[in-house]
Structure 1
Amino acid sequence: MNLITRTAVLAALMASSTLTLAEVKVSDAVEYRQGIYKAVRWNFGPMGDMVKGKQEFNADEFSRRAANLAALSKMPLEGFVAGSYNGTYSGSTDALPAIEKDWETFAGIMSDFETNAAALAEAASAGDMDAIRPAFMSVAKTCKSCHDKFKD
């Protein structure tokens, strides 16, 4: 394949991927991010119970769940598309239009979520609750800051 043909194919692929992202239905975006947050809760809840002593600490399970959370933390941002917020979307969502109005702050908090979730996974890999507890609380505080500002 010569250079011109490769360039044309690459340009066509890039255009088609951009078109696909632009054509995302609002309802699909809402379902996507809600699914991710259900998985976040699925993993974060039992870790919280272990941190609080409500459930016996299992280092392997905690580490697995923390790794899952770190992977999930990278996913939801792309599901926040224009028109997919409470009051602008006719379906069920608790996401506020403030996300769209203050995207920079929202994206910053989501970046903090990724960073803190990765730090929790790192702390969890050592299996030491003294290191895990503050890392877990950093994730929880990041979640709360987003909920306080951007969730109904």
Structure 2
Amino acid sequence: MLNLKSKWKATVLFIAYFSFISFLSFVGISIFFKERLHGNYIEASHNFIPFSTIGMYFLNFGSYNFYTWFYNTLGNILLFIPFGMFLALFFPKVTRVWAIIIILLFSFLIEAMQLISHLGVFDVDDIILKTVGGFLGFLIFNLLNRTKINE
């Protein structure tokens, strides 16, 4: 269980992480797509078909530079591992099913806000990858926490 000082530090870290996620989701990548900064990214094709983008990146691996491939696949997973860890830290009683639901909803919220604001591209595969990453973080935190308790 966290003491008050540790909980305060974890909260500050979460706020910094959340700020980073928000910046990256709505502004950061826009550095490469200037029209996104002005909400003019309407021409982009959104993806509502599960595994379409993931399949495209893995089946045509050689057609993309490494940065594009990594950012759009593993980057989404890695980006959300801390979210799952924070979820397990702040809500130790949450079950695996509820963790998946919460992570899925948060991922959907980001993608929906990108769609509505035109500061990004809605991609259902990003929701899948972020959910996988968040759930991995949740599992890793609980595994590490269980190992620490058993020592």
Fold-level similarity (TM above 0.5) = no
- Structure ID, larger Rg: 1
- Which structure has more relative contact order (CA 8 Å, sep 6+)? It is 2
TM, length-normalised to structure 2 = 0.35
